[in-house]
Amino acid sequence: MNSETPVVYLDNAATTFPKPEAVYRDMDSVYRSSGGNAGRGANPLARRAAALVAETRELAQTWLSAPEVTFSPSATIALNTIIFGANLRTGDVVYVSPFEHNSVARPLEHLRKTLGIVVRQLSYDKQTMVCNLDAIRAHFRIEPPSMICVSHVSNVFGILSPVEELALLARQASPSVIVLIDGAQSAGLVPLELANIDALVFSGHKSLYGPYGIAGVAFGRDWRPAPFIYGGTGTRSESLDMPSNGSDRYEAGSQNISAVAGLRAALIWLKETGRCSIYDHVSSLTAQLTTTLAGLGGVFIYPSNSRVEHSSVVSFNINGVSPQIVETALGARSIAVRAGLHCAPWAHDFASTLTQGGTVRTSLSFFNTEQDVLALAEAIDELLQHA
């Protein structure tokens, strides 16, 4: 297809697109004017870059209500930092939700194979995809958690997990538990109290409407992981050890100034636009999407319980048609959705969607409109006529 054809973009769980204009503008203008190396020396450009990083960190801390934020180039690296930096030992039990992304599942599987940690799935109902807090409390008592890893919003099914309650249950069962929340799809959009959460991982380029190249960890408590990436920090350079505290400990290498500028612009845009305004718009569109899709015979939305609230992400399948064929057919109509496993095989194992090649996933952002939802519904209706 011609690269100029306008696309109805419904793959915002992969990356929100487009970005607020200020994000594009600042990425360009700040990089042109202040593209020095932050924290490396005291020259004017390095100072400007360092001030930008400090300001963005403060904005992120405020927006996420976190006492400390460190930056990473991606949420994947932030999750690796927490999981590999947790100093888990043989036999330690790590609980996960059934919806964890491969950026959590693959590091844990590596530790299971090489170190002998035990990975257990938290109890969730297969029909409603709601977690069973009583069963979980009982499991925690029998086999106390060393760590729990839960995604706040599933990147496949869009369902919200009650992470504050899960964190509290885990903390009650094991005061030294490490609570890791994967907030790639939710951070900054769905409010979260970090009191019992050690690490909330956020992605700049998803729910924060910023660019690729910047993500990080919001630390809610005193626990800090061991360093994962070793290198130059521009501080205490005479030492062959990483700094023993502070964000430098996790930020070896040059800061990505263009990405930081984009994240700063996004955080300012979020504040000006308002969390509620964004959340309400996306929620209302998501409700419209699920209602419209449910109204089309032959479309199966996950989970089947229509009372479940989807947070911007809705997965479905069309009877007898592979998700990949649906994706391609929609793509030919300039509608961008995503088919497959969405890097979360556990979720499809749980929902029994593995053998059919996963699901068709639609995911919305503040920049989607009712027209986008209608365009999708019309296109699917057409597909159903020909299926």
28-87 residues in contact with its own copies (CB under 8 A) are: 28, 31-37, 40-46, 48, 73-77, 79-80
**Best CA proximity match to 137, nearest among 164, 165, 115:** 165
Q: Which amino acid is at 173?
A: A
Q: Minimum distance between the CB of residue 377 and its own copies, rounded to whole angstroms?
A: 17
**Best CA proximity match to 22, nearest among 218, 198, 271, 213:** 271
d(CA 164, CA 292): 32
| DSSP symbols for 243-292 | PSSSGGGG--S---HHHHHHHHHHHHHHHHH-HHHHHHHHHHHHHHHHHH
Stretch that binds its own copies, among 7-15, 121-129, 146-154, 192-200 (CB under 8 A): 7-15
Stretch 131-190 residues interacting with its own copies (CB under 8 A): none
Cis peptide before 18 (omega within 30 of 0): yes
By beta-carbon proximity to its own copies, the closer residue of 233 and 290 is 233
Q: Minimum distance between the CB of residue 313 and its own copies, rounded to whole angstroms?
A: 14
d(CA 45, CA 35): 7
Q: Minimum distance between the CB of residue 167 and its own copies, rounded to whole angstroms?
A: 23
Stretch that binds its own copies, among 91-99, 136-144, 235-243, 295-303 (CB under 8 A): 235-243
Stretch 195-234 residues interacting with its own copies (CB under 8 A): 205, 211-213, 227, 229-234
Question: How many residues touch its own copies (CB under 8 A)?
Answer: 88
Stretch 304-343 residues interacting with its own copies (CB under 8 A): 324, 327-328, 330-331, 334-343
d(CA 261, CA 375): 34
Q: Chain-centre distance of CA 64, in angstroms?
A: 14
Stretch 257-286 residues interacting with its own copies (CB under 8 A): 257-259
245 binds its own copies (CB under 8 A): no
Q: Chain-centre distance of CA 150, in angstroms?
A: 11
By beta-carbon proximity to its own copies, the closer residue of 29 and 62 is 29
Stretch that binds its own copies, among 91-99, 246-254, 263-271, 297-305 (CB under 8 A): 246-254
Stretch that binds its own copies, among 55-63, 250-258, 268-276, 298-306 (CB under 8 A): 250-258
Rounded to whole angstroms, the maximal C-alpha distance in the chain is 70
